[in-house]
Amino acid sequence: MTALLSFGHGYCAQALSHLLVPAGWTVIGTTRERAHFEAIRASGATPRLWPDEAGTLALESATHLLISAGPTEAGDPTLARLGGRIAALAGRLRWVGYLSTTGVYGDHGGGWVDEETPLAPTTRRGELRAEAEAAWQAIPGLALHIFRLASIYGPGRGPFEKVRAGTARRIIKPGQVFSRIHVEDIAAVLAASIRRPRPGAIYNLCDDDPAPPQDVLGHAADLLGLPPPPEVPLAEAGLSPMGQSFYAENKRVRNALIKSELGVRLRYPTYREGLAAILSAERERPA
């Protein structure tokens, strides 16, 4: 039997469920909101309310764990509630995946980073993720795999709606680039790791084309046949502290390891293929 218990069964975890459930897996996905049950069921998983129903019983039957739930100032919520039990079961779990962020690398002035780059987060969000990674790594004998995700996009998370609504802005910070990855490629990497587990592994998940954010918005507008959104200098954009924190870090992320070790061939190697696929699916959807 193969059974995945997914803590925080959101966008990425649901994409993985769409691959695992048709292959005969049992997937249990936790959430803090009953309103999310429908989306979890649509992915083929069985929803459980966290923490009320997602306790020892579900953990005892799991062969694999996926942790998407992010840390808070109080630490990692999954470890806070179930860390002792997970440690006790470490020898039985075949694969544990922790979804982290490339934000743990901090700012590199547009330079390249890979999995060997020392962690140097420059935002509090990045610091919390680095601390959570270390907490999971401290569990002896756990078949842990850490996945550092770049900016995530995909169906329902593309730029098209803002461009259509006329609310998109091309915020300009000279030299700024972001790495990104389509949610379906995230799911493919996770599935490949499950097939080829290597406890202790760390993987960067991103596509082949770190790009300026204004280029992505401009391309989205072009696909829609609309004029490009207006350009706004970063200093005049009036971003929230969260928005500003994204522009505080500038780096290009290498993804060679997921290809060489896991044999992954990205379905969407750049945002151009990804945005085209999202728009095509939207247009094919029944009205």
Q: Would you mind telling me the total number of residues written for the chain in this entry?
A: 287
Tens digit of each residue's pLDDT (9 = 90 or more) over 93-116: 999 999 999 999 999 999 999 999
The answer to whether residue 166 sits within a structural domain is no
Q: 64-92 burial string, b = 16+ CB within 10 Å, else e? A: bbbbbbbbeeeebbbbeebbeebeebbee
21-27 mean pLDDT? 97
pLDDT score at 286: 76
The answer to whether residue 190 sits within a structural domain is yes
Q: Give the distance, in angstroms, between the CA of residue 15 and the centroid of all CA atoms in the same chain.
A: 11
The answer to whether residue 240 sits within a structural domain is no
Q: Which domain holds residue 31?
A: 3-156+180-208+252-267
Domain count, the chain: 1
The answer to whether residue 106 sits within a structural domain is yes
Tens digit of each residue's pLDDT (9 = 90 or more) over 239-251: 998 888 889 999 9
pLDDT score at 55: 60
145-167 mean pLDDT? 94
**Cis peptide upstream of residue 51 (ω within 30 degrees of 0):** yes
145-168 mean pLDDT? 94
Supply the CATH number for residue 137's domain.
3.40.50.720
